[in-house]
Amino acid sequence: MRFPSVRCLVLSALLPVAAPLAAQRPIHQRPEGTPVSVVQFIFTSDAHYGLKRASFRGAVNVDAHVVNAALVAAINRVAWLTLPADSGVRAGEKVGAVDYVIDGGDIANRSEAGVQSASASWRQFVFDYQHHLTLRGPDGQRTRVLAIPGNHDVSNAVGFYRLMQPAKDASSMVGLFNEMLAPTKPRTTGTYDYARDKVHFSREVGGVHLSFVNVWPDSAERLWLAHDLAAVSPNVPVLLFAHDQPAVEAKHFTNPNPPFDINSRDRFENLLAERFKDALDPGVGDDQTLGPTLKNITSDIEQRGFVRFVREHPAIKAYFHGNSNYHEAYVYSGPDGDLALNVFRADSPMKGAKSSKDEKLLSFEVVSIDTRAMRMTVRECLWNSRADHVPVWGASTTVSLR
């Protein structure tokens, strides 16, 4: 089994951003000689520390720290759950060991209108996973946590066209960069440079390759991704993790209008290095109308670049994302209908499109992969639907990774 050169840190050892990195632990591996036939991970997204839920478990105006702590407590119970008899991978068996807990970004909410700073949100995220996550991996060690940035994390670092307090705070980006990439020289909020310090990395476990990109696989991220996949055997399935959905939002690209900055007229957020192209097409809009109509502009040109990349790399078998939040398994066909990529969208504990209105629909995803048959089952785990808070199973989808 090939391991990446970047070490995986245990999030339970995280320290505040300003502190030195904790001692690194070995990359996640099963005990020597143990057959590897199952890989399991939990996928959630959009924790949005700093926000408040209108209601949660009988209380009102509930802080994200409280809600996310309850989410972590539910994740801890997963190992003892029995998987449903749904004909999926390991149906009817106890979940048991979990290789990774994966967070799809937007750890910190953008610090607008009284929302706390990114530094405060990052500390809360670390606290919940440092002190409360008790799941174990197949090696008997605490389950490793992997996380990528979302658009809110990046906006906190680079600025936004509406007022934020503070105007910039790269704390969650710094924390993610240091913990996921383990650089020789850890970044601080003073030395972090978003143009240089993208949070993209990969892990390989049990013959499955996990690639994590910074926000969305735009043309710049695809250069890194191509390099990452060049060392992967074509027989190894690749799962791609991003914050944004494949049908990426136009506003997340770099402003195509000189001076290419973040401003309230154009309303581009400059999260992706690629300059947006669709808005330059005739008839779409000019500089005076681009901002107000930006949400109605498709990203077809940019998506076509991603579609071409996936077609050139057929080992990419599935895509996981947050950003637009509710549990969904669907097939992304691209703007021209020439792709069939299995995609899994995750709910948010704070901003779920459905669960924000009905807390019984709060969910995360439990993923089980049979690495011999190369089948993957993604199960919705409803973690707040019962009065005793015992998680129950929702929808289930099984796909081939061949």
Mean pLDDT value across residues 271-292: 63
Closest CA to 399 of 355, 369, 372: 369
Instruction: Give the tens place of pLDDT for each residue, 89-144.
Output: 999 999 999 999 999 999 999 999 899 999 999 999 999 987 899 999 999 999 99
Mean pLDDT value across residues 328-353: 98
Instruction: Give the tens place of pLDDT for each residue, 58-79.
Output: 999 999 999 999 999 999 999 9
Domains of the chain: 11-21+37-248+299-400 (3.60.21.70)
Q: Which long-range contacts (CB under 8 A, 24 or more apart) does 179-185 make?
A: 179/9, 179/11, 179/14, 179/21, 179/147, 180/6, 180/9, 180/146, 180/147, 180/148, 180/212, 181/6, 182/6, 182/7, 182/9, 182/21, 182/24
pLDDT level of residue 279 (50, 70, 90 thresholds) = low
Q: In whole angstroms, what is the distance from residue 322 CA to residue 317 CA? A: 18
Residue 347: pLDDT over 70 = yes
pLDDT of residue 396: 98
Mean pLDDT value across residues 303-312: 98
pLDDT level of residue 324 (50, 70, 90 thresholds) = very high
Closest CA to 85 of 347, 379, 294: 379
Q: In whole angstroms, what is the distance from residue 27 CA to residue 213 CA? A: 19
Instruction: Give the tens place of pLDDT for each residue, 152-200.
Output: 999 999 999 999 999 999 999 999 999 999 999 999 999 999 999 999 9
pLDDT of residue 293: 57
Q: What is the mean pLDDT of the chain?
A: 89
- 82 or 32, greater pLDDT: 82
| CA dihedral for 303, 154, 10, 65, sign (positive or negative) | negative
pLDDT of residue 16: 37
Among the ranges given (137-141, 344-348, 362-366), the one the predictor scored with the smallest mean pLDDT:
137-141
pLDDT of residue 129: 82
